Amino acid sequence: MKWKRTYVTPATSGEPPCMAQKRINYKARVLAAIAADKAGILGGHSSLVRLPPRTLEAEQSSTEEGEEDVDVDVDAHLPPRPRPTRLPPLLRSVRSQIRLLPPPVSLSLSLSLSCFCGDSAGTMTMGEQSGLPESLRLLDAAFDGGVNFFDSAEMYPVPQRRETHGRSEEFLGRWLRARRVSRGSVVLATKVAGPSGQMNWIRDGPVSLDWQNITEAIDSSLRRLGVDYIDLYQIHWPDRYVPMFGETEYDPSHHYVSVPMEEQLMALGRAIDAGKIRYIGLSNETPYGLMKFLQLSRNSQLHQKILTVQNSYNLLCRNFDAGLAECCHHERISLLAYSPMAMGILSGKYYLSDDGGPADARMNLFKGLVYLFIVHTTCIY
């Protein structure tokens, strides 16, 4: 794997020599990131390609002042990969049936799972953007292509409305029954919605993530999916103030009294004991939140049950690298990256044509999602 390194003359750029020789042009940064992503090293060794963006003026200046093409063998500088740990029984049982589409970002358990999360091509828009026939065709194509991990949420589809609440889970359940998919051949994941002042059709908000809300949410998801158990049950977003959905700075003034994590873990533990769920995942979490959940579960059986964190991750949003990557590596927690194509922006379909992309594309159908994209996926360094 090669990339292009650009040197800027210190006398004209005003930079110290040590800084000038470390500058890499913005185009090379993106190309290197894409190459690393294809090689499956984007998550584990992202520091090789995470560089500050450069303005167009600086880019033109560097090419005018002088540049030198240098071949850098990236692979020779990669540290050895961590030894894979033993997979949980659930994942070991289906490992031989799983194919990578595409290689997932996994820092710990070496989960050979094909992630079919809502933002990339999955259930998040099923029931709103795509009707039942199209959703069934999409699920058929994914399953036939080797995908066996399906992620949903009780609040889906988006944009969320009272009239469509829960349809994504219902469509996924109808597909399982219509195609007579063996329950042991797929891994089903879904999420409980955190506190929200807008979605009052979901348990009046929901007001909080106390044990009653979590228990009711699990029972409702099981009913909509039409299954006896859920493989991976995730807290969609925390029941406390955290900077998320595009925010990057913590503001202590926004703190509020929330349901203790101990109570949330108690509810999830009871659901595991009852056979309703098997493993626990977090979503839109911070390093503090992940480590606190692990600390509180340390002296119980739940410590081995917390497997994943599902956060936004793509070439435009790399917040995961700042702190969560280290936590996940040492604690053997896997990242489920949602919005890997930045809601389709990175596919080029919205700006490579004069008409702004297909009329039935998500951000053309739902104009409000344009703002969601801006705050959700442009947290660039």
* Residues annotated catalytic, as ranges: 156
Structure letter (DSSP) for residue 80 = P
Q: Are the C-beta atoms of residues 232 and 187 closer than 8 Å to each other?
A: yes
Rg, Å, the chain Cα set: 22
Helices and strands (H, E) in the chain, number of each type = 14, 7
From residue 48, alpha-carbon distances to 30, 34, 77, 319 in Å are 12, 12, 9, 15
Name residue, tokens 């699920």.
Answer: 139
Start-to-end Cα distance in the chain: 24
Cβ neighbours of residue 72 under 8 Å, at least 6 residues apart?
Answer: 2, 3, 5
Structure letter (DSSP) for residue 84 = P
Q: How far apart are CA 165 and CA 167, in angstroms?
A: 6
